[in-house]
Amino acid sequence: MSTLSFKAKCAMALCFDIFGINAFLRKQKRKQYNNNFIRVVNYHDTKLEHAKNFEKQLKWYKKHYVNVNYEDFCGFLKGEKTFFDKPGIMLTFDDGFKQNKTVGAKLLHENGFTGYFFVSSDLVDTDKYMTTDDLKDLIKENHVIGCHTATHHRMDVSDTEEILNKEIVDSKKTLERKTESEITSFCWVGGEEEHYTRKAANRIRSAGYKYSFMTNSEVLTQDTNPLQIQRTNVETFWSMALLRFQLSGFQDKRYKGKRDRVNDLTK
Residues in the site for Zn ion, rule: CB under 5 A?
A: 94-95, 189
| Smallest distance, Zn ion to C-beta of residue 192, A | 12
Instruction: Using the minimum distance from each CB to Zn ion, give the nearer residue, 45 or 134.
Output: 45
CB 38 within 8 Å of CB 219: yes
Instruction: Using the minimum distance from each CB to Zn ion, give the nearer residue, 201 or 241.
Output: 201
118: β partners:
94, 146
CB 183 within 8 Å of CB 142: no
Q: Would you put residue 265 in left (φ > 0), alpha (ψ -120 to 50) or beta?
A: alpha
Phi and psi at residue 29, to the nearest 5° = -65, -40
In angstroms, rounded to a whole number, what is the distance separating the alpha carbons of residues 44 and 103?
12
Instruction: Using the minimum distance from each CB to Zn ion, give the nearer residue, 39 or 148.
Output: 148
CB 145 within 8 Å of CB 128: no
| Smallest distance, Zn ion to C-beta of residue 111, A | 24
| Smallest distance, Zn ion to C-beta of residue 189, A | 5
Instruction: Using the minimum distance from each CB to Zn ion, give the nearer residue, 194 or 260.
Output: 194
Eight-state DSSP code of residue 220: B
The SS3 call for residue 205 is: helix
The vertex-61 CA angle with 64 and 149, nearest 5°, equals 130
| Smallest distance, Zn ion to C-beta of residue 95, A | 4
In angstroms, rounded to a whole number, what is the distance separating the alpha carbons of residues 37 and 84?
9
| Smallest distance, Zn ion to C-beta of residue 60, A | 25
Taking Cα atoms as reference points, which of 189, 228, 222 lies closest to residue 205?
228
| Smallest distance, Zn ion to C-beta of residue 46, A | 14
